[in-house]
A = this chain, B = another copy of it.
């Protein structure tokens, strides 16, 4: 894909030109790479991050590889405040070995979430979409017990711990949602497109309906991540359920100007008090930079259209932009 096709995507082409302009060089890959590699990597990263105007980074730590920075190291390297977002499935997989049965495993997971909260985590993120359907259903105790038993047997047989399937993943997601509600932590849900190990047909945020209508989850804040191409559906959920929020990360920048269009479409139903900025970037400071620049441009475009059509005043639009880029997240994640 990389050599033959990624170079022919609008996202790649646009990013290359954006980076070249930033580095003051020609927009071809070799030149951009040469310019980048000639710079001190820490200075380069700080400079690109500075251009994103990021105030605080919310970091999903469960995605880290062995050589990744810890949150503290990243904070030192970038000189930007960092707050932890717990990746639910990674956390829960580590606890399988310590649990005799599924209920104990869920108890241990809730306990670990409380500990994460105590050490400063500001949110919990589920990547259920990579392991199961997002059409959530409460599994029966028997289904759950059997699935947990199967997982234990696999591990005993030498396989790495990898949770998958609806019974385990949905039980875990519901249990985490209960704990998030109690701890007043937002629950982030990867939905819409992503890597190929996800079945996009099963990844619409509409499947999360039990989190929005079951009485036991009243008061829970759910943040729908990415959403594309189900962003109109996500915007609808934001418009009718008080605790539902969304972002368009990944769509911006990877769907290029169709991400920009998705922003305009989302602001049809989604209140501007419900949309977040997010980059979904990791590892490469370039991705943070490109995502932030395009997100701001897309937002500016969408808000300008609303001004041009007599929906918003310029003042409304500035307030809306500030909310999307900073205030909404500060409020929902309780950042000081």
Using a CB–CB distance below 8 Å, which chain A residues touch chain B?
1, 4-11, 13-14, 17-18, 27, 135, 193, 195-196, 199-201, 204, 206-207, 209, 212-213, 228-229, 232-233, 236, 238-242, 254-261, 264-274, 305-306, 309-313, 316, 320, 323
Known contacts A4-B242, A193-B236, A199-B209; A10 and B255 CB within 8 A of each other = no
CB of B261 within 8 A of CB of A5, answer no
B254 near A258 (CB under 8 angstroms)? no
Partner of A229 from the list B1, B27, B232, B309 (CB cut-off 8 Å) is B232
Assembly stoichiometry (copies)? 3
Q: A196 touches which one: B14, B213, B256, B311 (CB < 8 A)?
A: B213
> Which residues of B sit under 8 angstroms from A311, Cβ to Cβ?
10, 13-14, 17, 256-257
A201 touches B201 (CB 8 A): no
The 3 tightest CB contacts between A and B, nearest first, are A258-B268, A14-B311, A201-B206
A312 to B266, CA, bound (A): 25
A306 near B200 (CB under 8 angstroms)? Answer: no
Chain B residues with Cβ below 8 Å from A195 are 240
CB–CB B268/A323 < 8 A:
no
Also in contact, A10 and B257, with CB within 8 A (given A240-B195, A273-B4, A273-B5): no
Assembly CA distance A209 to B193 (angstroms): 14
Q: Determine the chain B residues whose CB is within 8 A of the CB of A10 once the complex forms.
A: 267-268, 272, 306, 311-312
Known A-B contacts A196-B240, A213-B196, A236-B200; the reply to A268 vs B273 at CB < 8 A is no
Cβ of A8 and Cβ of B271 under 8 Å apart?
Answer: yes
A258 — which chain B residues lie within 8 A by C-beta?
A: 232, 264-269
Check B241 against A196 for contact (C-beta < 8 Å).
Answer: yes
B residues near A267, Cβ cutoff 8 Å = 10, 256, 258
- Say how far A80's CB is from chain B's closest CB, in angstroms: 27
A256 to B256, CA, bound (A): 24
Cα separation A206 to B230 with both chains bound (whole Å): 13
Check B196 against A206 for contact (C-beta < 8 Å): no
Q: How far is the CA of A124 from the CA of B197 in the complex (A)?
A: 27
Given the known inter-chain contacts A10-B267, A320-B8, please indicate yes or no for A1 contacting B310, CB distance below 8 A.
Answer: no
Q: A218 to nearest B CB, angstroms?
A: 12
